[in-house]
A and B are shown apart, each in its own frame.
Chain A
Amino acid sequence: MKITRRKLIRAAAAGTAMTGTLGLPTALFAGQKTVKLGMNIPMTGDYAPWGLPGLYGCQIVANDLNAAGGVKIGGDNYKIEIVAYDHAYDTEKAVQGYKKLVLEDRVKMVMMLGGSTVASVLPWARRKKMLTTTLLPSDITPKSDYLIATCESHPLYNVTGVEWLAENHPEAKTAVIVTNNDAEYGLQSAATYKAAFEVAGIKVVDVNLHGFDITDFAPIVSSVLAKKPDIFCMATSFYVTPLMEQLYHQGFKGKIISCTLDYYNEIIAKTSKDFVNGTIFQFPDFDDPALNQAGVSFPNPADFDAKFRKAHPTDWSAVSWEYPAILLNWLEGAKAAGSVEPTAVLSALKSNKNPNFVFGEGEWWGKDLWGQDNALVGRWPVVVVEDGKARIQEYRSVSSWLDRNKAVLIRHMKDLGLRTV
């Protein structure tokens, strides 16, 4: 499996681009056109787990669509080609890769992870009227007309886990929050959790923000556990595994809630199945039976899960299905617009009052917090580890929580110095 991954990176290296058509018959069907979709994501470095698995996912979806004869958009038949560049979460490389995708490869959409790398390309998105997507709605600004977040509603969905926890474990009354101290992922999540805990009547007794320079988490965990919390919350930490390990060794018996729990099998190997069971987080495995419910728009999730794990057995992460879901959103928009042109697809997507969100119907949201309704928000699954396996407990509505409590959320965001309108 390591070899496959390395081979792919080599393939990337060969032309600095990977295409979604690797290993497929390259012959086009009669009269078929090609539409190029870009990915400007981290494939190396610390952030690679939130980039590379998304490329693998998109390749699977694109291959399936192409193998079925391509997609029909506005009377034409298109083959989808994915062009991906690695920016290693570096703004300089992100700008270069973005301009290359837009000006040289002539892609019709650029998918990105978010944060500073998205901020650095926004002026170009505006100038070239290029449809750009992010996984972080907090990247939206009053001026970012061409940036949309159609899949992940980070950090908003975290409220669903807290709601579920408060309902199912009413005895838990105090919480500590531990997270990375970056304004893009960690602090956004920390503010959201603080708001959600406040609304649920749970007292936050400590917030510990840690840097990327920590080698040992024992002091941090000891320090927050001294507050005797009922709930240990990891907002968005890059260090979930070592934190969980310390919790295990320091004998924590309360509830654990986290935004992500990537590679939870490794955590189980480091601690125990019993310890990890009951951990609440937000990202399902796609063989989950609850994904076959009516309303979920992702086609045949179990099949996608199987194909992904067959090709890349150890790479499943929170983003594996998210970039593909964005690709499918784009396809829907393009079909509605009858065109692949970025502005047409964008206006078709935005003019749909009840667009198809990955977990069901959604609505465009974001104006109150970031200045534009460019984030698609709907219901989101609450996932809990049961007998060593992630299982969706239920779907809860993010939008209705926001309707009731957005003032609380905005207050906590301002508290942590985050940008709001």
Chain B
Amino acid sequence: MELIFQSLINGLIQGGFFALFAVGLVLIFGVMGVVNFAHGELVMVGAYTVWLLHAQHGLSYFFAIGVAVVLVTLIGLFMERFLFRPTQNDPLAGLICSIGMLFILQVVATLVGGEGPSKQVPPPFHGTWVLFEYLRIPYQRIFSLLISFFALSTLWYFLTRSKLGWALRAVSLDKEASALQGININRISMIAIGIGASLAGLAGALMAPLTNINPHMGHNVIITAFIVTIVGGVGSLSGAVLAAFLYALFHTFVTVYFGGTIATICGLVLMVVVLIVKPTGIMGTRISE
């Protein structure tokens, strides 16, 4: 019984991270129609920034999070302007360009951090919150969960209550019709990738004290993000958030009872099944082209 409650909590915290980077991927795909293979590397850059500024140079953790978000957003904007916009008529070309970017970001990380062991960031929040004498949640994870919750609700508010948010959703539904309505597609693309990248940077910054940081950490992130995106439904933000939490719980429980690799295999198979049975995902309404 304790194990079930503890696993529920572990799963929810995981879900917060999954949602942060999956929502970004969905947003970019929805608006620009491009699969950003380098999304995991954006998370990695966020984590490296925190390692460099906070763990190496002793700057404040909050300041480091801020820099990570801004830096990753800038990288995202760069990618939109110089990689995705010139290739916007060809989704494959955009994908290949993002793979090129992935290599470049990994090398930059290696040059900054050097080879050798994975980097570690000492957690700014020490200690654990003990509930009912057996449930244990480290303060660091509570902090991460609160921030991801805050970021996601802000995004939700922006998308549903602001004019720009409406425009963004319109573009992801129908590009041509939106353009006819006078929406500036390039500007909306910039905003979409800006939001997506900043969320990835935030996810990396929040994960930094909790995981092994190395140039290749993006690989596991992108696999998870793909699974969540497909299961949630490509182009559906609420689907992605829901899928992030469901998949995190699913992965956590399968890990507990059958092992981690089996959990990932199950996730991949689940994704293929969803692709076949309901390619629009659990919440998706967009029909594949």
Contact = CB atoms under 8 A, between A and B. Distances in A.
Interface of A: 2, 5-6, 9, 43-46, 48-49, 52, 181, 208-211, 213-216, 218-220, 222-223, 226, 239, 241-242, 245, 249-251, 262-263, 266, 269-270, 272, 314-315, 317
Given A213-B223, A219-B252, A251-B128, 8 more contacts: A46-B216, A218-B14, A218-B252, A220-B256, A222-B6, A223-B256, A269-B122, A272-B126
Contacts of B260: 210-211, 213-214, 219-220
B122 to A, nearest CB: 4
Interface residues of B, number: 46
Contact of A216 (B14, B113, B209, B223): B14
A408 B260 CA distance: 29
A6 B2 contact: no
A315 B116 contact: yes
Contacts of A211: 259-261, 264
Contact of B259 (A48, A209, A269, A317): A209
Contact of A208 (B3, B210, B220, B259): B259
A12 to B, nearest CB: 10
Interface of B: 2-3, 6-7, 10-11, 13-14, 110-111, 113-118, 120, 122-123, 126, 128, 130, 136, 138, 207, 209-212, 214, 216-217, 220-221, 223-224, 251-253, 255-257, 259-261, 264
A5 B115 contact: yes
Contact of B7 (A2, A181, A222): A222
Contact of A226 (B2, B122, B216): B2
A44 B209 CA distance: 23
Contacts, number: 111
A262 B212 CA distance: 14
Contacts of B221: 215
Contacts of B123: 270
Contacts of A226: 2-3, 6
B10 A216 contact: yes
Contact of A262 (B7, B117, B130, B217): B117
A137 B115 CA distance: 27
Nearest to B130: A251
A415 B280 CA distance: 45
A218 B10 CA distance: 6
A186 to B, nearest CB: 12
Contacts of B116: 5, 48-49, 52, 314-315
A241 B212 contact: yes
A219 B259 contact: no
Contacts of A216: 10, 14, 210-211
B115 A48 contact: yes
21 contacts: A5-B115, A5-B116, A208-B259, A210-B259, A213-B223, A213-B264, A215-B220, A219-B10, A219-B253, A219-B256, A219-B260, A220-B255, A222-B256, A223-B7, A223-B255, A223-B256, A223-B257, A242-B212, A249-B138, A250-B128, A270-B120
A49 B117 contact: yes
Given A219-B7, A220-B260, A249 B115 contact: no
A210 B223 CA distance: 17
Given A213-B261, A216-B211, A223 B120 contact: no
* Interface pairs A-B: 8 shortest CB-CB: A211-B261, A223-B256, A226-B3, A249-B138, A269-B122, A218-B10, A219-B255, A266-B120
